Structure 1
Amino acid sequence: MRLMGLDIGDRRIGVALTDENGVAAYPLEVLERTSPEKDLRRITEIIDQYGVERVVAGLPKTLSGQIGPQGDKVLSFLDKLRVRSTVPVITWDERLTTAEVEKLLVSADLGRRRRRKVVDKLAATLILNSYLNSRKSGRNT
Structure 2
Amino acid sequence: MSANLVPLETFLDLPDHARLLGLDLGSKTIGLALSDLERQIATPLETIRRVKFGFDAAALVKVAELHRVAGMIIGLPLNMDGSEGPRVQSTRAFVRNIAPLTSLPIAFWDERLSTMAVTRTLLAADASRAKRAAVVDKMAAAYILQGALDRLMRMAPQAE
TM-score (norm 2): 0.84
> Does the 8 A contact of 2:40 with 2:150 survive in 1?
no
Number of aligned residue pairs: give it.
139
Are positions 1:117 and 2:131 aligned together?
Answer: no
RMSD in angstroms over aligned alpha carbons? 1.1
Letter in 2 for 1:65: G
SS of the residue corresponding to residue 15 of structure 1 reads strand
What's the counterpart of residue 53 of structure 2?
36
Q: Which runs of 5+ in 1 are unaligned?
A: none
What's the counterpart of residue 87 of structure 2?
70
Q: Structure 1 stretches (4+) deviating beyond 6 angstroms? A: none
Q: Deviations over 1:3-35 (max 9, x none)?
A: 000000001110000112222110100111111
What's the counterpart of residue 17 of structure 1?
34
What's the counterpart of residue 100 of structure 2?
83
TM-score (norm 1): 0.95
Moved more, 103-112 or 58-67: 103-112
SS of the residue corresponding to residue 98 of structure 1 reads helix
Letter in 2 for 1:70: R
Q: CA deviation at 1:2?
A: 0.8
Q: Structure 2 CA distance, aligned partners of 1:95 and 1:117?
A: 20
Q: CA deviation at 1:109?
A: 1.2
Letter in 1 for 2:65: D
Equivalences for 1:91-106 in 2 at 5 Å? 91-106=108-123
